[in-house]
Each structure stands twice: as structure tokens, then as C-alpha cells.
Amino acid sequence: MDRTCPVKLSVQPSRGLVDEKFIVLVQNTPPGSQLTIHGLHKCEDGHSWEAFAYYTANSTGTVNVSEDPSLGGTYSGVEQMGLLWSLRPVPGSKPDLRLRKVNVQTPMVVTISVYQGHQTEGFMDQVPLASTVVERWYMAPGVRRIPITEGRLTATLFLPSGVGPFPGLLDLWGGEGKLIEYRTALLASHGIASLALDYLTPKITMETGKLVDEQYFETAYRVLEQHPEVLGSRIAMLGLSMGTSMTLKMAAYSKVMKLRCAVCISGTHVQPVDGFLEELLNFCRENAGKTRINEENQVIYRDLLLPIPTDPALKVDVGRLQCPLLLVVGEDDQNWPAYESAMDMKDMMERAGNNHLLTVLSYPNTGHLIEPPYTPHARAAAFQPPTAPQPIVALWGGEAGAHSRAQEDAWRKTLDFLRENLFGRTNAGPASFSRL
């Protein structure tokens, strides 16, 4: 390749939120030249992830990733954000990794480079034609991170930039526990005061050996409700996986929590109504014989709660709900029977006459871990469930391309749902069922 005119590589915007698209543009290459565009990210645990795609420069010597199709690599076709969502551990990495941001006060840094020819490996041993660095943030400028210990909570509050008060949200993750902040910080970046809450492995449980009950969640709600920069009458709850179980339980039965709306991702209403977290985990242990292990030694949990019980004592009575509910479902979820649960909840709410409060987003070829946009898809990953003595490899399900499109669509519609119910009109819209 003629190097008299340097290859130009630009990414705009080079700094932005993780759910913000960027444009990758390669210029000043010979028309028709074969190029590989490569993305490299070193995450906080020291593991490196990469994505790459093959392109052919057009008649002006240009490649525009947002318009031109990839001819192969870790993704194919026109995929503007493929260099993020198709990131995978570099060859030789530890197996069964999952990419998650730990410190939200620092950016996710990705080095994007362009190489001559269509390459598949050995990128670190080659000199790129051009490189640039991209920063993706979960915290927008001005978002404030506030550790919360009030009421013996293990939690972090993220307040949006600007002048409040702001609508509030309780953000719950799933069955591995820990205080996970990246989705919460991103919600605050979109104007919602959001509280990340550890309910499985909080300090109080580590000290006493006892699992929390509903009072723990009601305390978190009160902390939000009474905060001077939160609109106490406009609080939502969002849960993924086991976080859905907690969200539905509190939304249906709590006399303290008056939620404006609820979002439940990849979860189920199946759980003992008489009891709380401890009884739910015991119920899962009792059904552990339904767990399957595939040929790759990956654990499949979805049959644990199937068939969906008919006994009303074993599922949350969603007919009691008085706030709008958004269910986000991956139809290839191998961890929870999310699709079957959504259909049963839909039937229950139709019979109760409150189905006007329900919206279901259901996505084919999509797995359990439906995360913010452009998060790399993990079909399976190491997982430490609270009911297991040691880590296992859980099969989450999903196909990378379809899963990525579902994440992008679901996030946009989730933000729309939250804005409508936390910022907009108070009446719920008509019932709907959307399938991507």
C-alpha cells in the first residue's frame, strides 16, 4: 500500500456514553484496498477483548463502518456498533469470561485500529496503518455517585447532573449478588436518580448470616423517597433475573412502596408468596433436580420453575398490580423461563382486568443477560449462584447479533417507558405486545 499519504482514521464522537453510537471512518486508502478494522479493550480484571471486521475501500478510498458492510470477522453486514457488541476474549484467554464494568468513575477505553489486508490474528505483532482511542462512559459529566449506608443498606445512589428534584429508581441485579453500579449510573445519566442495591450479599447479611426481607427494600425505597433531590411520588423499580422476583413481590404486596412503574427483565413471578428471599432460594433448591447440564458442561436452570405452577401460592398475584409494568423477555433465555412466565402474567392480568398496565417486549434468539446497548453478548459465563458451593458455568442463551439488536431496542423502549411514567402523564397507556 502506498504510504505517501497517511491513512486517516477517525471515530466521532470519541468520547460519549456507552449507549451512544459512534461513526468510524477510514480515509486516504487506495480504492478497492482490503482492510481490517480492529477494536481492543483491556478490562479491569486484566483480560483483553477484541473485535474485528473486514472491509473493502470504495472508489474514493473510504470505509464508513456505519454504512459499509463487514465482509467477515467477529460480525458481518452493516453494523455501526459491531466493534463493541462483538468484542470477545482474545485467543488464549481464560474461558467463560463476561465483560462487566466495575469502576463507573472511569471510562471503558477501546483502541480502534486499521490494518492492511484481512487479518484474523496476530494484531499485536503488526503495526497498524492508523489507530485512535475511544472512551465510553456510564457516568455522564456532572452525575454524582453517593455511597449509601443508611438503614444498614449496601447501596450507591447516582444523582443526575443539573438541578433536582429528579424521579427515582431502585435498580436490582440478579442471583450472584454484589453491588453492581454500571446500569444504575447510566440511568442517572439519562436524568433518573437511581439507587443500586445489593440485596443478596449486603454487609448486613455477611455479618449476620441472615438473608434480607421486604423491610430491606422498603428502607431503600424510603431513602429514595425522602432524599431532597428525589421526587418521592415518582419512583420506579427495575430488576433483572432474581431482581425481577423481588420487584414483582414488592410491587404487588408492599404497603410502603407506591411505585410509579416497574421494569422486569429476564425474570419470573414464580416464587412462594408466603415468604421472601430465603423461601425463594429454598424453593429453587427443592427443584434443583430439574437442572440440566449440556455436553459443554454448562448448567441450564430454566426448567427449575417449569411447568409454570397453577397453585396461586407459588406465584406473585400480578392481578394486584396498580402501576404500569414492562416485561423484557429473551425467547432463548436458558436461565429463567422468562417467556413462559410473561405469558402467564399476561393471562393473569387479563383475568384480573389490569392488563392495560402491561407491556411485553419479547425478542427471538435472545438470551438471559439483556443489558445496556453494545454490551458484548455472553452465551455462557462463569457464575456463582447463592445455592451452589462453588462457581459453575451457566448457559444464558441467545445469538450474538440478535441479542445485540434486542439490547439496543429494549434499552430505548425502557427509557421511553420510564420517561413516560416518571416524567410524563400519569395514566398508563394501552396494553401492548411487541416482538422484534
- Residues with catalytic annotation? 241, 333, 368
Which amino acid, residue 401? G
Distance, CA of 37 to CA of 23 (rounded, Å):
13
265-284: string of b/e by CB count within 10 Å (b at 16+)?
bbbbbbbbbeebbeebbebb
How many Cβ atoms sit within 10 Å of the Cβ of residue 158?
A: 26
Backbone phi, then psi, for 227, in 5-degree steps?
-70, 135
Task: Provide CB contacts within 8 A for 273, sequence distance 6+.
Answer: 253, 312, 313, 314, 315, 316, 317
Helix, strand, or coil here: 386? Answer: coil
Task: Provide CB contacts within 8 A for 209, sequence distance 6+.
Answer: none
Q: To 10 degrees, what angle do helices 242-253 and 277-286 make?
A: 130
Is the distance from CB of 257 to CB of 239 less than 8 angstroms? no
